[in-house]
Structure 1
């Protein structure tokens, strides 16, 4: 929608604000960083490595499992931008398999990134966010936090923790003026999912199965998740805190007949 002058309000929605996106080198993180930038924010992407990050996004190499590195990265971003208003905790890793075959090391690895990574980054950013008039944290959770998926025990448990952590943080920091929300995507069409498909005996069959379990009949686009994240991060979403916004192609809310097909092809 454009105003009477023909300008697009979304272009300046984040004007004057700065944002940090973890896991920002690809997939949902990169799509979110680009959209925040398009809407006026200064944006830093935090990740293990980068390849051809588009300007004006600022790359910051950091491992979210390293507390000292996280604190240094957040300080660098706040210093570079003159403050910090939005944190998107998107860094995460996946895991396949059930409880029976998941080793303790796999549990530790996934929780270190998916849960403690959120906690470390948020903790480091809180002093800067408290000084912002438009402070927001948005965590990338998953539909796996709310529905049972086969062979995803470790991953689902970590995302369940992210969901609970989001709501607890929202309660803890509402008095600070810091809104904390999360998105819960379904299976997204990202490089990580593509790597899983490539490793399958029959990638085409596996992709069809993933698409079929989503009521729309297709995977969720990274850009679609990015739009949801930017909505929750926006100063316009002042009434949203402690919210889990589904972007799951209907997985959590719809129960269609077995013969039902997607209607958005």
Structure 2
């Protein structure tokens, strides 16, 4: 029993006046994220809400996004984060935001010789420009409060590791790492921190779709599994656990970092 009659029951449960009260790791935090309809974005949105956050989950896939409407703590909105007007409108709807999580991305398959200008432009627009637009729209609100937390989705396939047939994707994710470090350095003395998450191979609907699109899906799957040093792929939920940590005050002294979660793939 501690002073004031409060007994710590566990890391999240407290007994107050004889009643157990659950305190989430993200209680009271307002979080906005993109690409929440499936995969890592969806898992993170649910994990954030379960920890007590007020979550605005966005995506361009309205049908899939609606599946989150039943989750307490989540409100959904169809937003194309590559469109400046839609991003600015989204920012105006929020008086303040504690955490911005930029997840939207696209994986192009091929070397530089397989990458047409349209592929390059589409990938950079989706993977990098969208984050630039979101950061530029929401950062002023964070600066007003002298408090803010930005998380960007990067990848081990970037400046961290050269990966076969991931030319423009890896280039875009290296740019995300650079953007992350730049924001962290520019605003470190203004209460802002910025980190990026760098997964390896994550078992998501996007990955499964890319495997099925290959001429020989079975061989494509075997190729992905062959590079998994742990013998399995990462799950979206495992990445979401890391995102909860970065979104929480537990990581208050962490900024400008690449948080690698790849099962040792880069080794």
Assess, with a 3 A threshold, how the Cα gap between structure 1 residues 101 and 18 changes in structure 2: closer, same or farther.
Answer: same
Unaligned runs of 5+ in 1: 255-265
2:231 and 2:8 map into 1 onto residues whose CA distance is 39
1:46 partnered with 2:62: no
1:163 and 1:244 map into 2 onto residues whose CA distance is 7
Partner residue of 1:197 out of 199, 211, 224: 211
Is the contact between residue 239 and residue 261 of structure 2 (CA under 8 Å) also seen in structure 1?
yes
Unaligned runs of 5+ in 2: 1-6, 14-21
String of CA shifts for 1:144-174, please: whole Å, max 9, x gaps: 0111111110101000100111101100111
Partner residue of 1:208 out of 222, 233, 236: 222
1:19 and 1:199 map into 2 onto residues whose CA distance is 34
2:143 and 2:254 map into 1 onto residues whose CA distance is 17
5 Å-filtered alignment, 1:146-161, equals 146-161=160-175
Partner residue of 2:179 out of 140, 143, 165: 165
Larger-Rg structure: 2
The alignment's C-alpha RMSD in Å is 1.6
1:208 and 1:12 map into 2 onto residues whose CA distance is 40
5 Å-filtered alignment, 1:1-265, equals 4-6=8-10, 8=12, 11-50=23-62, 51=64, 52-53=67-68, 54-56=70-72, 57-76=74-93, 78-79=94-95, 83-132=96-145, 134-145=147-158, 146-252=160-266, 254=267
Which runs of structure 1 show a deviation greater than 6 angstroms over 4 or more consecutive aligned residues?
Answer: none
String of CA shifts for 1:84-106, please: whole Å, max 9, x gaps: 10000001111011111211111
* Secondary structure of 1:230 counterpart: helix
* Secondary structure of 1:12 counterpart: coil
Normalising by structure 1, we get a TM-score of 0.89
Q: CA deviation at 1:130?
A: 1.9
Is the contact between residue 71 and residue 124 of structure 1 (CA under 8 Å) also seen in structure 2?
yes
String of CA shifts for 1:234-254, please: whole Å, max 9, x gaps: 1111110001010111112x3
